[in-house]
């Protein structure tokens, strides 16, 4: 086998004849996730906030999404994160930075971005447009291709969730 035919994987012991492409996909997903998290940190820093983690960035953008206040459970559900404690920690951090505020409605607390939080989201968008969108256009990656890829990833997340439930029942 020539060097160019070797699969690009991080764990060759998981790559069997029936799962070689899955192993390649998982490695690609792993490095894409790491790159995405690094991107969020640098974009956040360029937008004026260096103290945010990737999870903080995801959470503030989701809280800002459509200008509708959200509960901790809503955030976890949409972002497919079960650990509400880490979400709560991020929300408290964002609140202490003046980016998010919570308002009690009945027994629930609904979180929304402050003006400062919404301004950060807008600056983040501007950096994203200037750096990331420009790079995607240079690759000739069009919106239709990205949309199909996004749909495939959402579908695969369901497959991994189902496999997680199966593994948890063993």
Each residue of 75-120: pLDDT tens digit?
999 999 999 999 999 999 999 999 999 999 999 999 999 999 999 9
Nearest to 89 by CA among 45, 126, 56, 49: 56
Structure tokens belonging to residue 121: 């989201």
pTM over 0.85, yes/no: yes
d(CA 68, CA 112): 7
For the stretch 56-70, what's the b/e string if a residue is b when 16 or more beta carbons lie within 10 angstroms of its beta carbon? bbbbbbbbbeeeebb
pLDDT digits (tens, 9 = 90+) for 117-133: 999 999 999 999 999 98
Phi, then psi, of 105 in degrees rounded to 5: -130, 105
């Amino acid at each position: 086998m020539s060097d160019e035919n070797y699969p690009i994987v991080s764990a060759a012991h998981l790559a069997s004849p029936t799962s070689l492409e899955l192993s390649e996909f998982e490695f690609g997903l792993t490095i894409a996730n790491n790159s995405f998290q690094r991107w969020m940190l640098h974009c956040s820093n360029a937008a004026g906030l260096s103290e945010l983690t990737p999870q903080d960035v995801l959470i503030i953008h989701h809280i800002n999404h459509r200008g509708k206040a959200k509960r901790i459970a809503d955030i976890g559900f949409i972002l497919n994160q079960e650990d509400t404690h880490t979400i709560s920690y991020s929300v408290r951090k964002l609140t202490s930075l003046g980016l998010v505020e919570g308002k009690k409605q009945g027994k629930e607390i609904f979180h929304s971005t402050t003006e400062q939080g919404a301004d950060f989201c807008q600056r983040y968008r501007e950096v994203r447009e200037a750096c990331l969108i420009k790079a995607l256009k240079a690759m000739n990656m069009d919106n239709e291709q990205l949309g199909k890829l996004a749909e495939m990833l959402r579908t695969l997340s369901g497959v991994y969730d189902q496999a997680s439930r199966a593994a948890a029942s063993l």
